């Protein structure tokens, strides 16, 4: 029977023994009175002794209950202290790896991967949002350890860069929009369309907009929302078409669709880290495997 004994049984007993009142003890451990009473009865059955004298108007500890209260209280304190020491040792063992990416652009792609990344790497991972054009410099200056962004923005002779995913520029539009009937969207079709672009720092022109300007196309930018969810909502409301990368829009709400703009060229989403560091290289390698590129 004792192999069924758990710390929670002791925790529940301590609450009852200290309060000598099931109602107050139940509030203390967030259980119903009935459940708490059953937990204590189970503990008594496992130990083969009575721990409480239950009277209609009063509750008392038996000698066995008094002994268990003193011993269990010390055991819980020792256990908590042990857990804290283990956590401190674990934190000291874990190298903190700082992951940098432009959150408004990359969050929809990275969010599903981060939980798996934390579990499989066993490392202490922190996240920092930076403008995409600042990621390479942040890596070189050791402000971050791993960067995820467009490969063209990350490449440097001193960095280890790998491709995570290939894609293209797309417009997100209502399924009822005239351009939705086409397989692809020629850049010229965007001249008269109000466009949405996720907000960029003033010093950082959007790469898709730069590509359009290179083709002599200067579309109207209707709004620059800060979040992908806002951009989706604005497309639904008819504010404009959202110009973004295919990495961003793999799970659109019903009623919205995408059309590629092949003339703007192919995109490569990449991950980069400094070549000499093992922890960041492990994170980068895991990201490659999780996205199916290895």
Per-residue confidence (pLDDT) for residue 202, from 0 to 100:
66
Weakest mean pLDDT among 13-27, 79-93, 169-183, 265-279: 79-93
Assess contact for 168 and 246: CB atoms under 8 A. Answer: yes
Torsion of CA 130, 131, 134, 138, to 10 degrees: 0
Beta-carbon count within 10 A of 249 CB? 21
| Paired residues of 127 in beta bridges | 99
Q: Which residues of 256-280 are buried (b: 16+ CB within 10 A; e: fewer)?
A: bbbbbbebbeebbbbbbbbeebebb
Tell me the longest C-alpha to C-alpha distance in the chain.
90
Supply the pLDDT for residue 136. 94
Measured CA to CA, the distance from residue 245 to residue 269 in angstroms comes to 10
Rounded CA gap, 92 and 73, in Å? 29
Burial of 292 (0-12, 13-18, 19+ CB in 10 A): exposed
Structural contact between residues 286 and 121, judged by C-beta atoms closer than 8 angstroms:
yes
Q: Rounded to an integer, what distance in angstroms lies between the CA atom of residue 45 and that of residue 50? A: 8
pLDDT digits (tens, 9 = 90+) for 222-278: 999 988 889 999 999 999 999 999 988 878 999 999 999 999 988 999 999 999 888
What's the confidence (pLDDT) of residue 94?
60
SS in 3 state form for 135-154?
HHHHHHCCCCCEEEEEHHHH
Identify the three-state secondary structure at position 52.
strand
pLDDT in tens, 38-56: 999 999 999 999 999 988 7
Helix 7-19 to helix 63-93 angle (10° resolution) is 130
The residues, ordered by sequence, that sit 6+ positions from 266 with a Cβ below 8 Å of its Cβ are 166, 167, 168
Least confident segment among 90-94, 100-104, 208-212: 90-94
Residue in 123, 132, 150 with CA at minimum distance from that of residue 280: 123
SS3 at position 216: coil
Q: What is the pLDDT of residue 277?
A: 84
Average pLDDT, the chain: 89
- pTM value > 0.75: no
Percent of the chain at pLDDT above 70? 95
Give the integer Cα–Cα distance in Å for 9 and 174: 57
Q: Which domains does the chain have, with CATH numbers?
A: 2-91 (1.10.10.10), 95-294 (3.40.190.290)
């Amino acid at each position: 029977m004792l192999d069924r004994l758990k710390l929670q049984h002791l925790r529940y007993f301590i609450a009852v023994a200290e309060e000598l009142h099931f109602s107050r003890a139940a509030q203390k451990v967030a259980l119903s009175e009935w459940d708490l009473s059953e937990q204590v009865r189970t503990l008594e059955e496992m130990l083969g002794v009575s721990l409480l004298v239950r009277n209609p108007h009063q509750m008392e500890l038996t000698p066995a209950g008094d002994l268990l209260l003193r011993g269990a209280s010390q055991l819980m304190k020792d256990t908590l202290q042990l857990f804290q020491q283990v956590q401190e040792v674990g934190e000291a063992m874990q190298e903190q790896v700082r992951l940098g990416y432009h959150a408004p652009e990359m969050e929809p792609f990275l969010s599903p991967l981060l939980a798996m990344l934390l579990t499989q790497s066993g490392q202490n991972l922190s996240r920092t949002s930076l403008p995409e054009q600042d990621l390479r410099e942040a890596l070189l200056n050791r402000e971050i350890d791993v960067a995820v962004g467009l490969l063209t923005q990350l490449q440097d002779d001193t960095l280890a860069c790998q491709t995570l995913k290939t894609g293209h520029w797309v417009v997100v539009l209502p399924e009822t929009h005239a351009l939705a009937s086409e397989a692809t969207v020629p850049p010229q079709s965007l001249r008269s369309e109000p466009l949405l672009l996720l907000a960029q720092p003033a010093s950082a022109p959007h790469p898709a907009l730069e590509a359009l300007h290179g083709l002599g196309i200067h579309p109207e930018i209707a709004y620059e929302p800060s979040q992908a969810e806002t951009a989706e909502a604005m497309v639904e409301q008819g504010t404009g078409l959202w110009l973004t990368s295919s990495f961003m829009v793999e799970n659109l709400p019903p009623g919205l669709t995408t059309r590629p703009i092949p003339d703007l060229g192919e995109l490569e989403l990449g991950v980069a880290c400094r070549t000499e560091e093992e922890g960041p290289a492990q994170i980068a390698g895991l990201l490659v495997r999780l996205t199916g590129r290895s």
